[in-house]
């Protein structure tokens, strides 16, 4: 075992002990909390490191990206900030064509004091829409690389990966509708709040500068000049996801590994980050 992994294991063990012994404030329980972390790409570095350690202990496979992020976590824990930042920028260059990972790397970089330039800050990496259907949460996600995620009102979850080339273009056409919302909404400056409840709906656009969020009663958002077009677009996307979840002609279903080919420009390069 590499020394950095041994050191990380000790640091995580000590931190977990402190957290378990602390009295925290009451939080709203969310049965889909882990899933939301995946959808919003805001898993903590410590969570990634714990996952790597658990998988290694069980003899499971770990992706190279997860190993690299665990190394970043170890450097952060040891206050080697410059090394952590350098590796995160390398990850952006290597895996920046994956929109969800791109947001995740920028999320960690912002936590370390880095900020995207003005030409990058407002780029649309994805959209997450949360609301309830008959009292049950429904979440629709669309990402700039053409992938999608859907938690329907029955509690069934489907991941749509490896999109057909024309679906990548179609997804980007839909996501461009979020442009006015991004321009009119500043990045969130505090942790992502618990999911909306009742008849409230939340629209969240993922950008390198952070989450751009609008929330309100569904009927109010429909009447809003910025949010209404996004909801209309989301309805079109949801209908397509419903059809494709049965035929699966345009995406491959399931939580498959994130696609490694093609860039956000559809030509194999990386222009997201």
Confidence of residue 269 (pLDDT cuts 50, 70, 90): very low
Beta strand 200-207 with 136-143: parallel, antiparallel or unpaired?
unpaired
Domains of the chain: 33-120 (no CATH), 122-253 (3.30.1560)
Q: Return the pLDDT at 157.
A: 87
Residue-averaged pLDDT of the chain:
81
In the chain, % of residues over pLDDT 90: 48
Comparing 4-8, 55-59, 177-181, 261-265, the range with the smallest average pLDDT is: 261-265
Q: Return the pLDDT at 29.
A: 55
More confidently predicted of 88 and 11 = 88
Q: Return the pLDDT at 123.
A: 96
Element (H, E) at 74: helix 64-77
State pLDDT tens for residues 197-208. 888 999 999 999
Q: Return the pLDDT at 23.
A: 37
Q: Return the pLDDT at 161.
A: 84
pLDDT reading at 240 higher than 70: yes
pLDDT reading at 4 higher than 80: no
- The residue written with tokens 């790409």 in the block is 41
- The residue written with tokens 């990548």 in the block is 168
Return the exposure string of 53-77: e unless at least 16 CB atoms fall within 10 Å of the residue's CB, then b: beebeeeeeeeebebbbbbbbbbbb
Beta bridge partners of 138: 131
């Amino acid at each position: 075992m590499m020394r950095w992994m041994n050191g990380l294991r000790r640091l995580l063990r000590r931190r977990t002990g402190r957290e378990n012994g602390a009295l925290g404030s009451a939080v709203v329980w969310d049965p889909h909390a882990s899933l939301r972390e995946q959808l919003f790409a805001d898993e903590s570095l410590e969570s990634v490191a714990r996952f790597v350690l658990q998988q290694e202990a069980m003899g499971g496979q770990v992706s190279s990206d997860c190993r690299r992020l665990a190394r970043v976590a170890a450097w952060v824990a040891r206050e080697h900030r410059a090394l952590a930042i350098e590796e995160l920028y390398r990850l952006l260059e290597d895996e920046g064509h994956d929109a969800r990972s791109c947001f995740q790397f920028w999320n960690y970089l912002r936590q370390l004091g880095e900020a995207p330039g003005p030409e990058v800050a407002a780029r649309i990496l994805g959209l997450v829409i949360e609301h309830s259907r008959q009292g049950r949460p429904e979440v629709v996600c669309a990402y700039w690389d053409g992938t999608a995620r859907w938690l329907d009102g029955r509690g069934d979850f489907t991941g749509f990966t490896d999109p057909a080339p024309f679906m990548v273009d179609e997804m980007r056409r839909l996501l461009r509708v979020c442009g006015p919302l991004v321009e009119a909404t500043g990045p969130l400056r505090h942790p992502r709040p618990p999911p909306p409840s009742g008849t409230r709906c939340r629209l969240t656009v993922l950008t390198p500068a952070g989450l751009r969020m609008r929330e309100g009663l569904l009927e109010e958002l429909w009447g809003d000049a910025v949010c209404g077009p996004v909801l209309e677009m989301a309805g079109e996307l949801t209908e397509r996801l419903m059809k494709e979840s049965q035929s699966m002609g345009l995406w491959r279903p399931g939580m498959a590994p994130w696609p490694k080919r093609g860039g956000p420009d559809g030509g194999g390069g990386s222009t997201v980050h």
